[in-house]
Amino acid sequence: MAHLPPPEEKARAVRAMFDRISPSYDRVNRLMTFGADQRWRMALVERLAVSPADVVLDLACGTGDFVELCRARGALAVGLDFSRGMLQQAAARSGETAAWVQGDALRLPFRDGAFTVAVSGFALRNFVAIPPVLAELARVLEPGGRLGLLEVDRPGNPLVAAGHRLYFQKVVPRVGGLLADRAAYHYLPESAAYLPEETEMVRMLREAGFRRIRKRRPMFGAIQSITAERR
């Protein structure tokens, strides 16, 4: 995978990449998914039953999609991201700066049990390591707190899988390169290689302290939407 950085350079490379593409990130995302990315986020927020009683962490928040959706349901929401460029876009979009925190998912700057809900969208493959991130999420969630994760997935149907590979590996890099940054939109499809298989993901979640793990697969299995509960 020519566009994947070596492990020792991943954090630096990913942060620099998202800083570069932050001005065009929303526009390209909406185009690439035909606006479906927002529907997937909204469906996950509804499954988590986010309400005015909740305090929500949006981990790797990007430009703040989940924060916006959770606030629309009355929750208090905070977004954390590694990329300053993404946070600047989130602040400009929301018109405020207080809700956005720059930080590392491996060392979250929040007290134990600070949140009732945590969400993260399309970020797992960008972390240096997934298990310690899940452990940090469990730490900052109160017992019984809810977790929601969105990521890409591998469709099980052979025909769907073939179409998905063509779009994800050929169309996305070409269009992303034309509209934003060629290297970034080669990395993003290839980075799915960092994702664990379903059984391994379930094991990681359980070892981190989660139970009641549920997975849905929208877009014919090309997306995975996971919910879990902190023990």
Query: Among 103, 163, 99, 153, which residue's Cα sits nearest to residue 125?
Result: 153
- Could you tell me which of 108, 115, 112 has the C-alpha nearest to residue 145? 115
Contact criterion met (CB below 8 Å) for 105 and 127: yes
CB 50 within 8 A of CB 118: no
Please name which of 206, 227, 208, 205 lies closest in space to residue 216, comparing C-alpha atoms.
Answer: 227
For 42, 178, 207, the CA distances from 46, given in Å and listed in that order, are: 6, 35, 26
Single out the residue of 150, 162, 157, 181 nearest to residue 44, CA to CA.
150
Place of tokens 């960092």: 194
63 annotated as belonging to a binding site for a ligand: yes
Compute the distance between CA of residue 206 and CA of residue 203 in angstroms, rounded to an integer. 5
Would the annotation count 81 as a binding residue? yes
Chain-centroid distance of CA 2 in Å reads 23
Binding-site entries: 63, 81, 104-105
Binding-site entries for S-adenosyl-L-methionine: 63, 81, 104-105
